[in-house]
Chains A and B, each alone.
Chain A
Amino acid sequence: MKSIFIFLMGTVLAAQPADWLTDGGDPQRNNWQKNEKLLSVSTVKDIQLLWKIKLENETRAMHNLLPPLVIGSVDTPSGKKLLAIQAGVSDNVYAIDVATGKLFWHTKFESTYKDPENFRGPTVLCPGGMTANVTIGPAGAGKFTIYAASWDGRLHQINAADGKHIMPPTKFMPPNGKPYAMNLWKNVIYTHSAQGCGGNPNVAYTYDLATHKVGSWGPAGGGMWGRSGPAISAVHDTMYTGTGDGRWDPENGVYGNGMIGVRQNKQTKSLDLVDYYGPSNAEWLVKRDLDMQVTPTIFSYKGREYMVDASKECRLYFMDTESIGGDDHRTPLERTPLICNEIVDFAEAGIWGSLTSYEDTQGQRWVLTPFWGPKHSKYKAPIENGLVKKGAIAAFKVVDGKNGKPTLQPAWISRDMDQAEPPVFANGVIFAYGSGENTAQAFPDVGLDFRLERRAEKSTHAVLYALDAQTGKELWNSGKQISKWNHWSGIAVANGRIYINTFDGELYCFGLKQ
């Protein structure tokens, strides 16, 4: 019986290998692996470390490896391969043969950008290098193209089968900026930048793959820094992002600390502002550096498209993509109460990264957020899985509200996690992790200090968790198997495996022995 079961499972895997082709798993940044068949509430107890591989990517400030991606089946010169695609901040892209855990190919981009002579070295906020995670697009049966924006701002299109360029790199953005994870939607690449790195403006970018035309639009704020890059509305073909730091003053063309929706003009390929939203307490968010800086998640509920985003203030904003802020651009469908960050800390608390949304097998729509720091003393969920000191995952159900509009209903809060990062839902299980990173930016003895030396010393190690998606109850954790922490990364889940990397350049693959 056991052998038949394994055969059947193997058949399922062979028939429908799952991909994870972009940050957040899809252009709407749902962090939902829809095709997982092996990992489940009943099997995650058997998860083990399958392999790990050290990738010789040079670290820049706190950055090393970007979130891993997965291609389920690529036709390569040596046959069909299940590949993990791993980008590194130092202009590297690696492909790892998942079956063996061995390096399959490696491409390092030739950079046309060189540091100036007076360059003082990479910093945490402006590390230089390739900061935008790559994104992958299908290019015919068994073929995939990897799109990467190198440090010099050029767009590379490489063949996933062998890592070779399929065309010469083309100009996309200014060099030495800080673009965020790229997104691919209807043959257009989307990204945005922040922190004014390299003296560059903070703008949203599009690259039209058919015409090679670049579009850009800037909200005049301090930068858009949702770590998973922009999310794309499937209904409006519009890119949405939080606008990070900066004043909210739309009358004067300043859209900081809010949300913007920008859309490519089909004729000119320029990028135009089509919608915007500013929280009613934006002035407070600016004053306390509680930026709207989270990658939103966009999903459908009862046939209508909605979006949820968050900020360091630590609440969720529930929006209808037809009009994200209502007539006055300041009224979303709902603002949740504060979930965390009671002490109004701009560095070690609040919501960071991206969100998660999925439907369970009963058709219930969920929205999950990670958060850093203790839970707010006034926030209660029906199920709480212990005292939260360093961070956790908060889960909400999307339900019909009294006014006929949907609302976010608190459901559960996970166990404590050391700096909880964006989780992934797969087949009834939430995969989450605490990065173990010390994210403090200010210290009583020296004040602000972004240096790697100080933060690395205080960081610990990442821990991966599997939680029951209905209750948040812990089902499994990786204990001390991951030896280092990570920064600016994420996880991928596909085909019975979970991928996570660390600051020292190790890529770990956990999963079920198959």
Chain B
Amino acid sequence: MLPWLLLLGLQSDPAKLIEELEKENTAYIRLLSDWGKLTKYGSENAELRAPKPGENRVVFFGDDVFEQWPDFFPDKKEYLNRGISNQATPQMLVRFRQDVVALKPKVVVIMGGTNDFAGYAGPATEGTISENIVTMVELAKLHGIRVVLASVTPICDCVKILSERRPPGKILGFNGWLKGYARQSGSVYADLYAVLGQGRNMRKELTTDGLIPNAVGYAEMTPVIEKAIAEALAR
């Protein structure tokens, strides 16, 4: 109790502090009650019809980079965006059945890890992220879903400092593992880092904030992903 009282005493506007604490408390309650954010797409998934025979349904399963994709493949209704901003791989794992397996896609494009490095779901390492990715791939294969593993995209400090939470060296190291695991698991590797990055950084002309690509950045990503999907479908 004492620290709260001290905080209240130090804060010039206790009402504002209480409001901030309430907001924080609400955010924690929401995170705990829906760790995987199953509520984001659950209702929408329920309204989807099963894929038609011969339909090449593809699920884009990831984080901010997928969710914030503007004008997401307007001519490809069979492509479903299931990205959730700020989400890390342990949360993605929880919703893999609902947001991927249950939708019966031919291909899943998995992108995850950048928010793990940034600590959105607690401490994370290449080891913890890779275990989550492996489990997702194994689940997909068990259900006959072909996998595209998309690299973690680069960042830059061109707008604000991001490299402290998402060290480029860790991203590069993880992508190295991911590429090897894709080969080992029979998945297709989509090297988005190569088209968005230059050296250890994201090209600043391809981003708005150093993390999320801008329209030009997404346009650069598109053929890489389309090629990987085609390759996965051909297998």
CB distance from A343 to the nearest CB of B (A): 6
Q: Mark B189-217, 1 if CB is under 8 A from A, else 0.
A: 00000000000000000000000000000
Contact of A281 among B30, B33, B46 (CB under 8 A): B46
Interface residue range, chain B? 10 to 19
Q: Is A254 an interface residue (CB 8 A)?
A: no
Answer yes or no: A97 CB below 8 A from chain B CBs: no
B75 on interface, CB distance cutoff 8 Å: no
In A316-366, which residues have CB < 8 Å from any B CB? 342-345
Taking a contact as CB atoms closer than 8 A, the residue among A282, A283, A343 that contacts B39 in the complex is A343
B184 within 8 A of A: no
**Cα distance A280–B47 when bound, in Å?**
6
Interface residues of A in 272-288 (CB under 8 A from B): 280-285, 287-288
Residue of B nearest to A341 (CB): B39
Q: CA of A118 to CA of B90 in the docked complex: distance in angstroms?
A: 46
Q: B43's contact among A281, A343, A345, A444, by CB below 8 Å, is which?
A: A281
Size class of A's contact patch? 10 to 19
Near A by CB (< 8 A), chain B positions 1-60 give: 29-30, 32-34, 39, 42-47
Per the 8 Å Cβ criterion, residues 134-156 of B in contact with A are: none
Determine the main DSSP class of B at the interface with A: helix
Q: B29, B34, B46: which contacts A283 (Cβ < 8 A)? A: B46
B27 to chain A, nearest CB (A): 11
Given A282, A342, A344, which contacts B46 in the complex, CB threshold below 8 Å?
A282
List, in ascending order, chain A residues with CB within 8 A of B46's CB: 280-285, 287
**A287:B42 contact, CB within 8 angstroms:** yes
Give Cα distance in the complex from A304 to B29, angstroms: 45
Nearest to B98 among chain A residues (CB) is: A287
CA distance A284 to B39 in the complex (A): 9
Q: Report A308 CB to chain B, min CB distance, Å.
A: 20
C-alpha gap A345/B39 in the complex (Å): 10
Q: Which of B29, B30, B45 touches A284 (beta carbons < 8 Å)?
A: B45
| Alpha-carbon separation in the docked complex, A444 to B42 (Å) | 23
Q: Knowing A280-B47, A281-B47 are in contact, say whether A343-B42 is a contact too (CB < 8 A).
A: no
User: In the bound complex, do residue A284 and residue B33 qualify as a contact, i.e. CB atoms below 8 Å apart?
Assistant: no
CB contact between A345 and one of B33, B42, B44 (< 8 Å): that residue: B33
A385 to chain B, nearest CB (A): 19
A-side contacts of B45, CB under 8 Å: 284
When the two chains form their complex, are residues A284 and B42 in contact, meaning their CB atoms are under 8 A apart?
Answer: yes
Given A280-B46, A281-B47, A344-B34, output 14 extra A-B contacts at Cβ < 8 Å. A281-B43, A281-B46, A284-B42, A284-B45, A284-B46, A284-B47, A287-B46, A288-B39, A342-B39, A343-B29, A343-B30, A343-B39, A345-B33, A444-B32
Interface residues, chain A, with chain B CB atoms under 8 Å away: 280-285, 287-288, 313, 342-345, 444
